[in-house]
Chains A and B, each alone.
Chain A
Amino acid sequence: MTTSVRLGADELSRCHRAARDEGLAPALTVLRSLVLPGLLPCGPGGHAVVPQEVAAGAHQVWLDGVTVDRSATDESTLDSIDLPGGTVVLLRHGIGERGTDVHAEQRASWALGLVWLRLGLSEALRETCMRYLNGRRTGSTTLLQQQMVKSTVADGLIEHLEVRAVLTGADAGGLPEVILSHLHARITAADRWLVNLLGASGYLTGGPGQVAHLSELLAEAYVRADS
């Protein structure tokens, strides 16, 4: 296992851009290699959303700040989903008897990195929506130029900008968990609006609608509901 890095602007930007430009699995790979190298990152309930390679290769489990040995008998794979950028696995590991040696710095880095990562995914969704709607016509113009469509894109963008504004200048540990949880909720709200723009095509597996769904599950797995 190599040493984790305290996330600064460079690293956060890498996670953000990987999510936006390459997809969920590559972005999780970047974040995990920076913050939790060699570990299987799980949330406080033992849930995980990880790239297939991470699920296959980790020998130890990181349970919301506490490292434990991985137990094959105490782990179940819930799903495996092929997405642009790579396959992602959903799994649950038992939380059993956890130690008390919480790595607060890793926890703070992972938490902040996840928000940047989800923001990148949501921005990619916005760009996908715009390309898709710019290629579809209604009458003499494109769907993208319909005023209600423009308004919905703007609603999504406003959420992105506000989340980005709050994140700007914040280092790991600099924002309380309740604020990070709030930012996740705003990203989810943006995703819901944007996915609606894709109509039925946003309901298909393997596409942008499912990436948005997985993005929600990331928050579900790693963000405490009461934070």
Chain B
Amino acid sequence: MTALEGRLVSLRDQMREWGADFRRLGLALDRDPELVREHFDLPAVRYLSTMGIPPEYGNVPIPIAGNRFYGTLALERAIIMEELACADVGMLVASPGPLLAGVLVDLLADEAQKEWFYGRMLDAPLWTFFALTEPDRGSDAGALTTTLTPVPGGAVLSGEKRYVGNACRAQLGVVFARVGSGPLGINAVLVETPAEGFKAEALETIGLKGARISAITLDGVHVPAERFVGRHLSPSRRGMWAFVQTFNLLRPGVAAIALGIARAAYEYVTENRTSLRRDEQDRLDLLGRRIEGARSLVHLAARAVDARTSDGYLASAAKTRASQLAMDAAREACGFFGVGARFDHPMLDKLVRDARGLEFIEGTSNMQKLNLFQGLFTGKLDRDDPFRVGVPG
């Protein structure tokens, strides 16, 4: 197990402390996802609202044990996500901030676009969205059909997007659309809302209600030329490459969210069952070991993408492992409270529902496994040093 450096331990501890607010509000937010609007003053919400914005654009996050964490590294985000998801995943995903769109902007945008995007995010807490998935091709993003048709001064967007977090209340977002055929014909654009022709509606979901997963209709939405993300780059760096890299960078964070849910289930048992039979203690201990093991994998996968953005295969392993663990842990925790546990323990029921969402967010386990296999088959995983930590030759 690779131990966290002292400054990251401080970050973890601070997030754990801030997470108490999330835990307190979680069930209420599950009933009313808009409740988060009343809590923009919470330290964790304030932190998330600018997480990922680099210091050179004016981000001054609250210092933690003398350090400022900008959330620009996958490992930092993994630590933050685990703690806040353990507190309450609903509050985490309901909080405004640049998150997915911010990672893409950081990766691809030119200076003017960064100044504009980050400036907006620093002015006030804003929700953002990342619109890639379409109704009929969730697992085949490269085949997207939303169009970006050139007009004088820019282009117009037309098409549909689905399963986009927070789109129904976002003021800013990224939309992937097609300017031509093939993988090089895909471009990302920044979109401000409300906008004429833009409509987003929340979909009713079983869990993760704070995410306000939405469906978007784009009917001739005008996009100025200066909102084409990565307009200074070659087409090969703007389309599929861009969202693959973005997902690589975000995937350890998604895995960490799943890990946080698993830990929340584990902690619910430890906090609400004061005495355990031997067999129960054994089951709980095993769950604890699985959580520890998955955390080791998540952290090394995060370090790997921080070192090389293209090293997303390990994160696929981490996300698959952690999302399965979240579902197992939530169900396992119910077993400690007897018949009807999910009726009598609303928190457990919520954890079971929320855990299911992590299975498909950022790619189902089946897709992650195919991605991981591809990495192995094509020799992208170093057989002697898969995490690139440096092993004796």
Contacts and interface: CB of A to CB of B under 8 A. Distances in A.
Nearest to B368: A154
A13 B391 contact: yes
Given A13-B391, A162-B294, A182 B289 contact: yes
Given A162-B297, A182-B286, A151 B366 contact: yes
Contacts of B75: none
B307 interface: no
Given A9-B392, A169-B3, A182-B286, A158 B320 contact: yes
A154 B300 contact: no
A182 B383 CA distance: 23
Interface size range of chain B in the complex? 20 to 34
Given A10-B392, A17-B384, A165-B296, A179 B289 contact: yes
- Main SS class of interface, B: helix
A78 B39 CA distance: 69
Interface residues of A, number: 32
Interface in B267-291: 285-286, 289-290
Interface string B111-144: 0000000000000000000000000000000000
Contacts of B300: 165, 168
Contact of B376 (A157, A179, A183): A157
Contacts of A178: 285, 289
Contact of A164 (B286, B368, B387): B387
A155 interface: yes
B372 interface: yes
A163 B317 CA distance: 12
B317 A157 contact: yes
Nearest to A226: B282
Contacts of A170: 1
Contacts of A163: 293
Given A165-B297, A168-B300, A169-B2, A179 B391 contact: no
B40 interface: no
B373 interface: yes
Given A13-B392, A169-B389, A150 B369 contact: yes
B372 A9 contact: no
A161 B314 contact: yes
A206 B381 CA distance: 29
A102 interface: no
Nearest to B389: A168
A13 B392 CA distance: 7
A147 B368 CA distance: 12
B377 interface: yes
A179 B292 contact: yes
A183 B296 CA distance: 13
Contact of A154 (B285, B286, B296, B320): B320
A10 B294 CA distance: 25
B293 A162 contact: yes
Contacts of B369: 150-151, 154-155, 158
B1 A166 contact: yes
B321 interface: yes
Nearest to A159: B321
Nearest to B3: A169
A165 B387 contact: yes
Interface string A108-152: 000000000000000100010010000000000000100100110
A123 B376 CA distance: 12
29 contacts: A9-B391, A20-B383, A127-B383, A150-B369, A150-B370, A150-B373, A153-B373, A153-B376, A154-B317, A154-B320, A154-B370, A157-B317, A158-B317, A158-B372, A161-B297, A161-B317, A162-B294, A162-B321, A164-B387, A165-B2, A165-B293, A165-B296, A165-B300, A168-B1, A168-B2, A175-B1, A182-B289, A182-B293, A183-B293
Interface of A: 9-10, 13, 17, 20, 123, 127, 130, 144, 147, 150-151, 153-155, 157-158, 161-166, 168-170, 175, 178-179, 182-183, 186
Given A20-B383, A127-B383, A157-B317, 5 more contacts: A10-B392, A130-B377, A168-B1, A169-B3, A170-B1
Interface of B: 1-3, 285-286, 289-290, 292-294, 296-297, 299-300, 314, 317, 320-321, 366, 368-370, 372-373, 376-377, 381, 383-384, 386-387, 389, 391-392
